[in-house]
Structure formats: C-alpha cells, structure tokens
Chain A
C-alpha cells in the first residue's frame, strides 16, 4: 500500500454511490450501511495518508501509467492530506448523523448517492494534480450540491437551488476560460508543469487576467463577499446534514483550497494579489458578521456567520507569511468542525420542534441537554472563548496580522470577533436559555446517532487547541503550511518524485 492508496479516495465514494443507486431501492438499510462504511474507510485512509506523506514526502500517482504532462496525475502532499482529513472527518460524522435525520425525507438512497458523489467530487478536487481534472471534479461536487440543496422540494429550496445553480455555473465558466487561457499560454494542463513554464516565461498581462478570472470563479464558490449572494439562501434551505457539509467543507474544498493551490503553487503569489485576497477576506468578515447580527432564522444566521469566518480564513492565508498561512489553515479546520456542529444542532432543533425561527424557541436546554450543551460549546468556540479551539486560531490570525504589520486588519479582526460573540450570545439566549415556551412542552431529545456525532464534534472543538502542541503541529499543520510556502518549487518537487 504505497501509491495505490491515492485513487481509492475517489474510487471508494464513486463505487459506493453507483452501488447504492443500483441496489439501494431494493435492499432496505443497504444505503445506510454502505455509505457509513465508505466514509469511515475514507477517514481511515486519510489518517493513513499522513503517515505516508511523513515517510515518503510527496507521492505522485500516474493515472493509467502515463508520465504527468501527458497523462493525469494525482498528488498527495501534506496540504492534501490535511484537507482530506478535514473533509472526511466531517463527512463521516455527518453520515452518522443522517441515519436518523434523513428519515424525515423521502428517497433516502438518492440522498446517499448524491452525498457520496459530492464527497467524491471534493476528494477528487483535493487529490488531483491536473488543472482540468480539478475543474471536472469541482463540477461533480457542485452539481451534486445543487441537487442536494433542492432536496426538500419546497418553494424556498427550489428557488435557492436555482439561484445557486445559475451562479455556480457562471463561476464554472469563468474558471474554464481561465484554464483555456493558461493552456494556450503554457500548452500544458498539469499544475506542476504550468508552474514550471510560468516561472520560465516571467510575468505578463495574461497572468493577471487569469488571476482575476480565478478569483471571480473560485471566490464565487467560496462565497467571498462581492460574490456571496447565493450562500445565505442555499445553505439554510438544504437538509441539515447537507448544510453542515456545504458550510463546513464544500466552500473550503472547492473555493479556498483551489484558490490556495493555484495561487501559491501554480501562478505564484504577488503582493498585489496578496492585498486583494486580504481585502476580500476583511470585507467578507465585516459584512458577513453585520448581516448575521440581524437574522431571526437560526440557519440563516449560521450561513452569514460562515461568510464571516471564511473571511478570517482568507485573511490569514492571503497574508502569505508562514504564521498567517498556519493560522488560516488552523482556522479552516476549526471552522469545519464547529460550523458543522452548529448546523447539526440547528438540524436537531428543527427535527424536534419543527421550526427554525429563533423567536419561537426558548429554554431548549432543559429538554434537549445534548443539543443544548454541544451548541454552547460550538458557539463559544466559534466566538473565540479560551480555551476552545476557535480562540487559538483567531489569536494566531490576529498575531500574524500584527507580525506582518497589517495593524488595521488586525484591529478589524478583533472587532469582528467581538461581533461574532454578540450574535452567538443572541442564539444561545433566545434558543437555549430562558423560559420554555408552552408550545414546546412535548419535545424530546433526538435519536442516538444524531447525539453521537454532535458529541464527537464538540469533543473535537474542545481539544482542537491541542493541534498546536509542537509534536502534532509539526506533522499536521506546519507541514501543510510548508507545502504552500514552497511556492513555485512545487514543480520541482512534483517532478522530483515522479522517478
């Protein structure tokens, strides 16, 4: 098991999706078992991949046996395995949650099929080393998510899904034009090869145009602020496990990861670009936070808060310093865990009470202790209360901004953290504390599997700060940061490990 590990990240979810679509209708329970099995094995493989990277360095897999510029290659480096762990961890816990939650919807097997296809798309995007292949898998994940947003087939879901589909397709066309231009300019599609040719050719106008196209395209997928309009509709409308996946990992895998990979390793980051990313991040942070404050719908509030937190991540990564990238990646991981936890909580509330309106809730902790306390942990973590995980990553982002002499950005980040605390306190006060409303007397705590995954996620939130302990940090975060900081040496590393 060396190189053969890599294609499994795509083959396992695809194969299970096809099997479920064939047999899921006839055999009851197969869909549940198979998809849980698939996501669990993916999680296991992701952890395995870390040891593999540690032992061998960068691993390149040649699909079909063709040498990379001719064929497609898959690349496993430390950033890849970091992202794989983030995605598959959330995916596994979400599948466990869905076993009971999706009983509320019809056609569970179609849900699992689409879910696994989306997962395959995300893993494919992360693992690939080829630009067009990245686009193809990005489309798989996007199309699956368009359909999943409309899973409830009610008015709002359909409308949100339409909006999401149209904006997502526009983003895809921008990305495709960017790829076409790069192909014509360098005559290659392999990311390492493109990077090599670009360093030889030096800077040119076409590169800045392509950067603009990619920022528009991937920025739309990542919901950075001028391009965020679809997110507050799409994320709340989806079923809760899907909201957790969309907010928790999809926008990161398709948007932020692709941006990082392309800008740092392929195009090479310049100071203008870095400022552009940082200012996009800051605008998203502020606007997302302000809009979240005014929301009454719990899932909508979480969705706006996602925009704000993605702003933090992009700010950290955009700084381009070692500390900044480290902080950004750390926050990315933390946000994946606590935002999916919060969305799962909101799903539990909806499951038990049937409403998403904050004004109709109150005193839920008394009736639903697991949901109540786990959401308390999630909220405290996202608003940066020590010693929970969110505190450490936000602290690091602010420290990195100060270190890089961006004092204005640092102070804005502090202010937005306080803003975050404000609106999460609002959620806690309205939903979980205070008087229990009469209409909610009869509610019960949610089934076991839903509790299990919420508990697991809150444990990760509590101990997330441990990732900064030197021994763990070196293998997990720092090496991922190093992969980005290598910049254009990416090409040499890839071609070096092909032999």
Chain B
C-alpha cells in the first residue's frame, strides 16, 4: 500500500514532465520523480521498529535497518543533484537565447 503511494508520487512527476509546457515545470517534474524513486528504495530497506545502522558504544547489532539501500540512495541523490544543476544551466541558456521558458515558443528543431 505504502509502495503504491510512492508510485503515485512518481507518476505525478512523470505526468508533469509529459504534459507541462514550461522548462522549469519540467525540471520540477524530474525532481519529484527522483524523490519518489529515492523514497521507494529506502522504504524497501526499512525494518519495522528498526534502528539506524550506526553503532552505539555497546556495539550490539540488533534489528537494524538495511544499510545498503541507504548507501545506494546517497549516490542517487548526488546523481539527482548533478542532473538538476546541469539541466538548470541548459534552461538558463535557452532562456537567454529565446527570452522565455515556454517550450511551445522554443521550437527551432523540427522533430
């Protein structure tokens, strides 16, 4: 059930990318989709009433959540940041050339 809610969040992002006609909105859609994927991966690694995977002084390993997805998502967050930065830079240059973020007015290419 909670997984499905996470997928709905992802779908909102995809919807935004496919339907909206504004560069910034598309970037926002990308961001939302990426958040949903990250959350989904962490949900998969969660254990009910688990502990954070950081050892306290007693060094007991007991009912900890899965550390592997956390490590992977750390990487995924960085990837998301990298893509966002790059895509904002490209959008700014497009704005500079055309004077608008509206994709319907930005159409030099045919296909």
Contacts and interface: CB of A to CB of B under 8 A. Distances in A.
Q: Within the complex, are A and B direct neighbours (CB within 8 Å)?
A: yes
A165 interface: yes
Interface stretch (A155-163, A246-254, A318-326): A155-163
Given A170-B14, A177-B10, A184 B83 contact: no
A316 to B, nearest CB: 27
Quick one: which of A139, A155, A162, A184 has the most chain B CB within 10 A? Answer: A162
Interface string A337-349: 0000000000000
B86 A165 contact: yes
Contacts of B82: 139, 143
A136 B78 CA distance: 11
Contacts of A160: 109
A270 interface: no
Interface residues of A, number: 31
A297 to B, nearest CB: 9
A351 to B, nearest CB: 22
Interface stretch (A146-154, A353-361, A383-391): A146-154
A166 B41 contact: no
Interface in A117-176: 132, 136, 139, 143, 146-147, 150, 153, 155-156, 158-162, 165-166, 169-170, 172-173, 176
Contacts of A172: 79
Given A162-B23, A177-B10, A229-B111, A139 B79 contact: yes
Interface string B25-59: 01000100110010011001000000000000000
B76 interface: yes
B30 A183 contact: no
Contact of A170 (B33, B79, B98): B33
A233 interface: yes
A169 B17 CA distance: 11
Interface SS of A by simple majority = helix
A341 B98 CA distance: 35
A180 interface: yes
A103 to B, nearest CB: 23
Nearest to B87: A165
Contacts of A139: 79, 82
A281 interface: no
B94 A162 contact: yes
Nearest to B23: A162
Contacts of B68: 183, 189
A155 B109 CA distance: 9
A132 B83 contact: no
Interface string B1-25: 0000000001000100100000100
Contacts of A241: none
A173 B9 CA distance: 13
B37 A162 contact: no
Interface string A171-196: 01100110010011000010000000
Contacts of A136: 75, 79
A13 interface: no
A184 B44 contact: yes
A165 B90 contact: yes
Nearest to A230: B111
B64 interface: no
B79 A158 contact: no
Contacts of A229: 111
**Residue in A169, A229, A232 with the greatest tally of chain B CB atoms within 10 Å:** A169
A161 to B, nearest CB: 6
B17 A159 contact: no
A177 B94 contact: no
Contacts of B86: 143, 146-147, 165
Interface in B64-79: 68-69, 72, 75-76, 79
Contact of A150 (B75, B90, B106): B90
Contacts of A189: 68, 72
A161 B23 CA distance: 13
B33 A173 contact: yes
Contacts of B30: 166, 169-170
Nearest to B107: A159
B106 A159 contact: yes
B87 A159 contact: no
Contact of B37 (A147, A150, A161, A173): A173
A173 B34 contact: yes
A180 B44 contact: yes
A165 B26 CA distance: 11
A180 B7 CA distance: 13
A189 B10 CA distance: 23
Interface string A420-446: 000000000000000000000000000
Interface of A: 132, 136, 139, 143, 146-147, 150, 153, 155-156, 158-162, 165-166, 169-170, 172-173, 176-177, 180, 183-184, 189, 229, 232-233, 291
Q: Which 10 A-B pairs have the closest CB atoms?
A: A184-B44, A180-B41, A162-B90, A233-B109, A158-B93, A158-B94, A173-B37, A165-B87, A176-B37, A173-B33
